[in-house]
Structure 1
Amino acid sequence: MKTMRVLALEDARRMAAAAESEARQNGWNVSIAICDAGGYPIWLQRMDAAPIMSAMVAPDKARACVLSGKPSKVYEDMVNQGRIAALSMPVVPLEGGEPIYDDQQVIGAVGVSGVQAGQDAQVARAGVAALDGADHLHKGRQA
């Protein structure tokens, strides 16, 4: 059996604060969702003036990352390159979701929605980066 680390609420708070800071520095109003390794929400916040629908889309972007182990942009790219069959997959094919890894194993994800796709992803990456250097968690991307 494998031993797997799990995200704690304090981890989610740290990531959400970093993501919110990135959004505020750029004048972006977004929703930020953080989910665990099962794709279930640990954290959801919608900043003032963020689009209402963003609070539904952000958790779906995070869930897509957990299910696939890849950033949600992978699926947006598939659709944009003509592979419309990707629309029938159980993931949201929109950029803005970033997985969180511990020793090459997905332990959760950050999903952001509310601004342009690349901006959503920038905010999500800022959230994930908040765990970099934490002595209890080692982020590493799969090849």
Structure 2
Amino acid sequence: MEITLEQADKAIKAARDKAQELNLKMNIAIVDAGANLTAFARMDGAWLGSVDIAMRKARTARFFDMPTGDLGQASQPGGSLYNIEHSNGGLITFPGGIPIKDAGGEIIGAIGVSGSTVENDHTVAEAGVQAIS
């Protein structure tokens, strides 16, 4: 099963609403189960450099079916996945990317958010996931 455009739009809206609530300017990317970009929003004034980061966070979360912050923990020096961020054309291993599951627990896509602190990025991404969970 894949995330639908309607679901992706709903996740983008919820993430954007959360960003506005926190007075943040974010880039928000949604990828499908194949890690293909499905929807994207760049809020007015969001950093241009974060466009690519948001998309990479979403793809990273889907490639490994885990939040990017969790992958980051395993990729620290001495960790079992040390230097993994250099694979797959470049991964992002800090918070802000989260897999999206359907009601049955199947991963249907992922969200990636960038534009603030990693804590805020994760909070905004989580709002997007919650909107369609």
Taking structure 2 as the reference length, the TM-score comes to 0.89
Deviation at 1:23, TM superposition (A): 0.2
Please tell me whether Structure 1 or Structure 2 has the larger radius of gyration of its CA atoms: 1
Q: 1:62-141, aligned counterparts within 5 Å?
A: 62-80=58-76, 82-83=78-79, 84-90=82-88, 91-102=91-102, 103-132=104-133
User: Runs of 5+ in structure 1 lacking a partner?
Assistant: 133-143
Percent of matched pairs sharing the same residue: 33
2:23 maps to which residue? 27
Deviation at 1:82, TM superposition (A): 4.8
Q: Distance in 2 between matches of 1:104 and 1:129?
A: 13
Deviation at 1:27, TM superposition (A): 0.4
User: Runs of 5+ in structure 2 lacking a partner?
Assistant: none
> For this pair of structures, how many residues does the alignment match?
128
Q: Which runs of 4+ in 1 moved over 6 A?
A: none
Q: Distance in 1 between matches of 2:87 and 2:32?
A: 20
- RMSD of the TM alignment (CA)? 1.5
